[in-house]
Every structure is written in structure tokens, then in C-alpha cells.
Amino acid sequence: MTVSNNHLSAAAEDDHIEKASEVLQRIFGTQEQGSSMGLEMVNLSEKAQQLDAMEFLKPSQTRLMAVANQKGGVGKTTTAVNIASALASHGLSVLLIDMDPQGNASTAMGVNHAEGIPSVYDVLEGRLSLTEVKSKSEHFSHLDVVPASIDLSGAEMELATLANRNALLHAAMHRLLTDSPHAYDYVIVDCAPSLGLLVLNVLCAVREVLIPIQAEYYALEGLGQLLHTIGLVQRNFNPQLLVSTMLITMYDKRTLLSKEVFDEIQRHYKGIVLNTTIPRSVKISEAPSFGQSIITYDPRGAGSVAYGEAAYEMNSRSEDVLRQLNEQAGNEE
């Protein structure tokens, strides 16, 4: 029996395997019928696949970054933890230092930070080195964590009378990087939500500041105060300090306010604000209670993909930022 080409074409159509986008389109209907949920699921899946294939390049020098904002609840610790985890998940070597007495970054990474446990407090007091107090992340082989315990809460008063009180963390980081200059691609420090001595120590020890900004009106007011403080540190203690990155967090694309805040900040700080925004997400909030970052807790979810994209965007700017920092250092000599 001879089978015509028409029959072959019909058979091929019957055997057609639907793509994920076609299945979701069939389930949720056409775009005009309200298929936005289905299309978002398709886009998220495609973004996750693209992110898996992206190559994160090692910066030519270690990037020393503080994640800072004196306003609480803006996603500061969440950003520090998840950016560090995203970078480590793509093969870059990262040291995450928790400088917040609450120890939330330590909790989110599943690192023991009970009272009396060797921590960054012992480093500031000069009893131990960063190498001696750091712990290996159980989720990422390329990520080390220096925990903070409640002991750190009394450090500001104890250290206030020391002549070098602003440079304690700087000295410890300098020793670490001198002994092992190629050990880390990134050193990321999570600051306390304040502008006290601990934060000043961090700003004197790093070269860059990453500022997470919540997509709301009050965030714009707090940003001005933070930038003023950073300017004072630049003029008086650390002239090489640079605000290299701003990241919009808790972004709700359904509201006009989120878009207006993003547009306003991007207009004033062009080239600094990442194009990636971090969405509001229950999963992001849940992850720390399981001792995990969103990268491992919900690896294909919207929060994980967003932080992965933010980390990639930040990483892709490395050489431009480092060149700017080195030129700035040269001008100071």
C-alpha cells in the first residue's frame, strides 16, 4: 500500500509533541483571554534555562562589597545571602561576612552562630583571624561564611576607645587577602541596619557598596541619608569607596508606584542601578527559616531566577567597576 505525502503530513501533525508554551497556552487560553499566568510560567522556565547556560567570569581582582542600607526591611540581608549564593552556584569563590549582631545572614546560610561560637566578634577583638572563624557552606562548595553572634551587639561600646576602631575589619581582611590573594572572587559583607561603628568598620574595609532599595516612596528619602553618610566616609576614611550597585527589591509589577520608584532611581543613578528587579515573594521570605538561600530552597522559582539574573548582571560589570576603582586609587596617589 502506497502512502501519499498528504497522509505523511497528517500523521506528522498528529504526532506533534507540544512545547511547554503550547501546553500552557492551551490550558490558560489565548493572551486576550487572560493567559498572563501561563505566559509568566513559560517566561520563568525559559529564564531559568538561560541562566543555567550563562557563564559567570572571574573578576581580575577580588571585589570587596558591602551590602548596606540603614533602613530596615529593604531586603538587605536577603540580598547579601542570595547574591553570594547565586555567584557561588555558578562557580565563583565567595566569602560572606555577617556583620549584623542579629546574625540573620548566618541563620539563612545554616551556620551555627550561638553565643560563644567563634565569630566576627572575635576577629574584631583581635583574638582570631577570619580564616579561623569562617565555615564552609553546606550547600555551595565555593562559599565560606563568617558568622555573627549576639556577642557582636556589645562590640561598639567595647571598641569605641580604641585608636584604630574604624580599621579593625580592614586589617583582618587585608591579612586574609595578603595570605591568599586569589582565594576569593567576591567578599560580601552584610551590614547592620544602622550607621554606627560596625557599619563604619565595613565601609572602611571594602571598596564597593551595593545598596538594596525597596520599591516604595520612603526608600527614596532613606537613600539620600545613606549616600550622605557614604560621602562622609569617602572624604574622611576611605577615598576609594564607590557606590557601584543599586538593586530594587520587593518590586510589584502590578503597581504603578514600583515602576515610578524604579524609573526615578534609574534616572538619578544611571549606570549604577541593575536592570534586574527582585519581586515580592513568599518563598524568598520562607527560605531563611529552613537555613537556606532562595537559590537552593526554590531553585526554579521567580525569586531564585531574579537573584541569579542580578548576580549575573553585577558580575558582567566587574571589569568596568574595577577599572573605575583602580583609576580612582591612582588619582589619590
**Which pLDDT belongs to residue 39?**
54
Place of cell 517566561: 43
- Strand partners for 66: 189, 209
Q: Give yes or no for a contact between 306 and 279, defined as CB atoms under 8 angstroms apart.
A: yes
**Which pLDDT belongs to residue 40?**
63
CA dist 236 → 87, 205, 233, 315 (Å): 32, 13, 5, 29
The architecture of the domain spanning 60-328 is 3-Layer(aba) Sandwich (3.40)
Q: Minimal CA–CA distance to 61: which of 321, 331, 330?
A: 321
CB-neighbour burial class of residue 63 (10 A; exposed 0-12, middle 13-18, buried 19+): buried
**Which pLDDT belongs to residue 32?**
45
Cα 252 from Cα 207, distance rounded (Å)? 31
**What is the CA 210 to chain-centroid distance, rounded?**
8
β-pairing verdict for 135-136 and 143-146:
antiparallel
**Which pLDDT belongs to residue 315?**
97
Place of cell 505566559: 39
Cα 276 from Cα 271, distance rounded (Å)? 13
Cα 293 from Cα 110, distance rounded (Å)? 9
**What is the CA 234 to chain-centroid distance, rounded?**
23
**Which pLDDT belongs to residue 31?**
47
Place of cell 542600607: 69
**Which pLDDT belongs to residue 85?**
97
| pTM reported for the whole predicted model | 0.86
Q: Minimal CA–CA distance to 303: which of 93, 75, 22?
A: 75
Q: How many CB atoms lie within 10 A of CB 222?
A: 18
Cα 309 from Cα 67, distance rounded (Å)? 17
Place of cell 504526532: 15
**What is the CA 259 to chain-centroid distance, rounded?**
21
Q: pLDDT tens for residues 65-100?
A: 999 998 878 889 999 999 999 999 999 999 999 999
**Which pLDDT belongs to residue 29?**
53
Place of cell 509589577: 253
CB-neighbour burial class of residue 64 (10 A; exposed 0-12, middle 13-18, buried 19+): buried
Averaged pLDDT, groups of 10, the chain, 333 residues long? 48 51 52 51 80 92 94 89 97 96 92 88 94 93 94 84 89 92 92 88 96 84 85 93 95 86 87 93 92 94 94 96 89 65
Place of cell 503597581: 255
Cα 153 from Cα 102, distance rounded (Å)? 8
**Which pLDDT belongs to residue 217?**
78
